[in-house]
Amino acid sequence: MLYSNVSMTASSIIYVSGNKKLSGEVTLSGAKNSGFKLLIAALLSDEESTISNLSDITDLHSTIEIIQALGGKIEFVDKHTVRLSGAGLKTWAIPEKFEGLSRAAIYFVGPLLAKFGRAAIPMLGGCNIGKRPVDRHLEGFQTLGTKVTHKGNEILFSGKIKGGTFCFPKPTHGGTDTLLIASALSQGETILENVGLEPEIDDLINLLNLMGAKITRTLNRMIVIQGVKELHGTKFCCMSDRNEAVTFAVAALATKGDIFIKDANEQVLKAFLKKVEEAGGGIAKVDGGIRFFYKGPLRATRVVTKPHPGFMTDWQALWATLMTQAEGKSVIHETVFENRFKYAFTLKDLGADITFFNPKVSKKEKVYSFNIEDDIPGNNHAIKIKGPTPLQGIHAKVPDLRSGATFLLASLAARGESVIENAVIIERGYENLVEKFQKLGASIKTR
């Protein structure tokens, strides 16, 4: 049975009447950037696994559609729990109709190679925040023994992973995930160097190890995988969404409110908590979660986004909204994606005082996570925000997931009415965000 609350359609519009303090308690959903990968990893075994605390979001449902199209058995136990196995997989090619839908396709290469010795995937999708190539994933597959070729819009993989050592030219969250999934079932030992440190990667490692994999994180961004011949089914609970935690924390501070975020985990939010303290926001760490509250005028901050454990790129748009309400000049320098400031034009329309600039960077190759050759003239890598400025309601169209959450947040803090179009993108990554804001006292509805 397919459970889902995902309700918005492409024409969905959110209406917000802003300037109300948000307060109360909210519970986090399962992590968007972990759930779908856990499902794909579970396909490595023909035995059933049960994965719980999955978020009811469109990104998860599109992964489930791919699994079904490949013949994999998957059923909902309840709205947030699925049971699945790789037993029914019957084809090694992800159908073309999934082209451009999400980033999920590349993660399937591991289970397909393990079962069929080959895989074919269509072009990837995901938020339009940069070029987002997968060259580091592909180089890794090739180094570890899989042949990679291109045919039209498809990428073809042949030959199981043999093992070996691969050093990522620069860390990548997704690349670490795909090679982990692909190397868990293999003949030899795989050593991955210069890997990502994101907590969602650890969620994946924990699941794979429970399934019988032998994966160890060692110091210095290194992961060692002793390949095993088979994996078995297990039960696993997906981690909570740290991006959702940041969304509600910023909502509390931007609306001068007070929100207790149940399940917010200090360990995965350290860089964010540090900035909240620097800005003068209230934080109370209590059993079972973290309370964020407004305790007086906020101060400007300087933020440089970095891969984990740094200040996460997914948080910068939300943070920029908050900094429009802080006293002084804030700076945000985005170093992970090459084009992630599109939302800032809309914040300016709301009344924010934002200027774009490109900081002088002497060692670009070292500072930026994206490939320097993918950067094009016209991309802005930093903004200056002069605050505080009152925000006015707006009529805006959502360009990508985090911008969508940012527009919502800005509308909640703004005076007057806002209309947010193309709101369906928000459901790619947030379960019931509108309903959760309603419960915290927001005047917000969908049509």
Active-site residues, by number, are 127
Alpha helices in 264-400 (DSSP H): 270-279, 316-323, 342-349, 364-367
Nearer to ligand EPU, 226 or 371 (CB): 371
* C-alpha distances in Å from residue 107, one per residue of 32, 39, 391: 14, 10, 41
* Cα–Cα nearest to 393, from 368, 380, 377, 411: 411
Touching ligand EPU, residues 383-422 (CB under 6 A): 401-402
Q: In this chain, which of 91, 371, 379, 389 binds ligand EPU, going by CB under 6 A?
A: 371
420 touches 403 (CB < 8 A) = no
Q: In this chain, which of 22, 74, 121, 127 binds ligand EPU, going by CB under 6 A?
A: 127
* C-alpha distances in Å from residue 214, one per residue of 144, 167, 177, 208: 17, 19, 15, 8
Nearer to ligand EPU, 190 or 257 (CB): 190
343 touches 406 (CB < 8 A) = yes
221 touches 185 (CB < 8 A) = no
Q: Least CB distance from residue 313 to ligand EPU, whole Å?
A: 5
| Binding segment (CB under 6 A) for ligand EPU, from list 45-53, 87-95, 142-150, 172-180 | 172-180
Cβ burial, residue 377 (10 Å; 0-12/13-18/19+): exposed
By CB under 6 A, how many residues form the interface with ligand EPU? 28
The separation between CA 130 and the C-alpha centre of its own chain, rounded to angstroms, equals 14
**365 part of the interface to ligand EPU, by CB under 6 A:** no
Residues 260-299: x where in contact with ligand EPU by CB under 6 A, - otherwise, as a string:
----------------------------------------
124 touches 103 (CB < 8 A) = yes
Q: In this chain, which of 20, 80, 160, 173 binds ligand EPU, going by CB under 6 A?
A: 173
**135 part of the interface to ligand EPU, by CB under 6 A:** yes
| Binding segment (CB under 6 A) for ligand EPU, from list 157-165, 167-175, 221-229, 316-324 | 167-175
| Binding segment (CB under 6 A) for ligand EPU, from list 186-194, 272-280, 311-319, 350-358 | 311-319
Quick check: bond before 95 cis, omega within 30? no
Alpha-carbon gap, residue 395 to 406, rounded angstroms: 13
Residues 228-267: x where in contact with ligand EPU by CB under 6 A, - otherwise, as a string:
----------------------------------------
> Which residues sit opposite 396 in a β-bridge?
420
Nearer to ligand EPU, 228 or 312 (CB): 312
Residues 76-115: x where in contact with ligand EPU by CB under 6 A, - otherwise, as a string:
---------------------------x------------
What backbone torsions phi and psi does residue 418 show, to the nearest 5 degrees?
-130, 150
Alpha-carbon gap, residue 127 to 22, rounded angstroms: 28
**336 part of the interface to ligand EPU, by CB under 6 A:** yes
- Interface contacts to ligand EPU, rule CB under 6 A: 32-33, 103, 127, 130, 132-137, 172-175, 196, 198, 312-314, 336-337, 369-371, 401-402, 429
